[in-house]
Each structure stands twice: as structure tokens, then as C-alpha cells.
Amino acid sequence: MKHLDLSVNVDHVATLRNARGGTHPCPVEASRIAIEAGADGITVHLREDRRHIKDRDLERIRAEIAAPMNFEMAATEEMVAFAERIRPPYCCLVPEKRAELTTEGGLDVLRAGPFLREAVARLRAADVRVSIFIEADAAQIEAAAAIGALAIELHTGTYAEGPVADRPRQLARLQAGVAAARRAGLLCHAGHGLSYDTVSDIARMEEVTEISIGHFLISQSVFEGLPVVVRRFKALIAAARQA
């Protein structure tokens, strides 16, 4: 069975900090605590409007945290240039709309302009391993492989946040996405909307090698503490993997 990494998204530590405009709570400190508690990596999304993570957070996490960083970003000139400068080990390309509350769906690789291919090529030239956040759709996944991505991150939001009765159908759709990634020779990551209730179904998919969790994990930490929540997620993932 392949190892399954948990990457903790610390964006919403920055959301809380920004609510008062000061320095507390600090996403760099949260990253350190999450890694000490057993997380395998840290994810940060630097948005065009800098609504949570700021440039300096990203630079500091890259410099100070000795665990793989996954830099989530839109495929824009500004963000590609940023990634070329700080050279994170992983980038995840996501669609980004100013008005959205969070990333709303996978990137439409089939209809993307030529800059997406250029972004992937430039990131690869900077030794960044590129994944693309994507719907579980075979044509989209094949298109991601064709433009040179190394991995896809399957969008689990529709499964995790939709009606419970619809979950078997959504899981089957995700399974088909995992199979399409395997056929296309891509690594398969997954994330969005996952919680204690939904992580196990995804962790049981043995081709999935990384799960990225943010909002639930950080908000649950208000009640339980960040190390406890990270350890609970790691235990759920380990149990699902063994089952």
C-alpha cells in the first residue's frame, strides 16, 4: 500500500490573524506545530487579493519549516514568478475567482488558454512538481497529463459537502478519476471540504498519495487544539489505509 501524506493547509490561521490585523495566530507557528504533531507537509494558497496568506508568510514557511510545502496558486504571471523565486517542492494550480469564498471547482484544463501550459513548463524548469486541482473527469485528467503535470489533486468538495445520500455516487465518480489518473501516468492527490466524517473514504483509495485539509482541521483546532486534530486525522488515515 502506498504511503498517504497529510498536508495541512494553514490559510485559515492567517484568516484569523488578519481579522485583527496583528501577528497572532501565526501561520508559520501553526505549520511548525502541525509538522511536530505528525503532518507530512504544509499547504498555503497565496491568493491574488492576499485575503489570508501574505507573501511574507509563504517566504517564511518555505525558509523555516523543514517539511514539503505545497504552494497553491492560480496560473498567473505574478504567481508563477513568485514560485520561480521561492521554488517550493510542490505547486498546485487552482482556478481563482475574486468573489468566491473558497476554490469552487477544478481547473478547466480543456478550455484553459496557452498560459497554463507555459506555467507548467516554467514551474517544472524551476524543479517544482506540479499538480492540477481538477474534477474527476477523464478528459480533464488526460489534458492535465498532456500539458506536463506530474499529479492531479481530485476535487473532493462535491462528495464531502453534498448530501450524505449522494456520497456513494460521488465516491464512484472519484474512483473513476483515480483510475483515469493511473491510466494517464499521473500521481493522485485529493482535497477540499474533508472532515473527520469524510477523510476515511478518500484515504481508502490506495492510489491517492496525498490529502490536503484546511478549513475543518483549523477550525476544529479551536475546540481540540491543533496537535490533537492533526493526530486524529493521521490516525483516521492510518486506520483507513490498513482496512
Q: What is the nearest approach in angstroms of ligand PXP to the Cβ of residue 213?
A: 5
Cell of 199: 477523510
Among 5, 137, 153, 201, binds ligand PXP (CB under 6 A): 153
DSSP H or E segment with residue 35: helix 27-36
If one asks whether residue 17 binds ligand PXP (CB under 6 A), the answer comes out as no
Residue in 14, 25, 45, 119 binding ligand PXP, rule: CB under 6 A: 45
* Stretch near ligand PXP under the rule CB under 6 A, chosen from 114-122, 134-142, 211-219, 222-230: 211-219
Nearest by Cα to 4 from 226, 183, 178, 144: 178
Residue numbers annotated as active site: 45, 72, 192
129: its cell numbers: 512538481
Answer whether 97's CB lies under 8 Å from 118's CB: no
212 binds ligand PXP, rule: CB under 6 A? yes
Cβ distance to ligand PXP smaller for residue 9 or 33:
9
Give the nearest distance from C-beta 2 to ligand PXP in angstroms. Answer: 19
Q: Which residue number is nearest to ligand PXP in terms of Cβ?
A: 214
Q: Which of 51, 54, 117, 215 binds ligand PXP (CB under 6 A)?
A: 215
Task: Yes or no: say if 92 and 73 are a contact pair by the CB < 8 Å rule.
Answer: yes
Q: How far is C-alpha 120 from the chain's CA centre?
A: 17
Q: Binding ligand PXP by CB under 6 A: which of 82, 133, 159, 233?
A: 133
Query: Residue 42 in contact with residue 8, Cβ under 8 Å?
Result: yes
Written as one letter, the residue type at 93 is: L
Letters for 181-200 (x = contact with ligand PXP by CB under 6 A, - = none) are ----------xxxx------
Instruction: Spell out where the chain has E strands.
Output: 5-9, 41-45, 69-73, 90-93, 129-134, 151-155, 187-191, 208-213
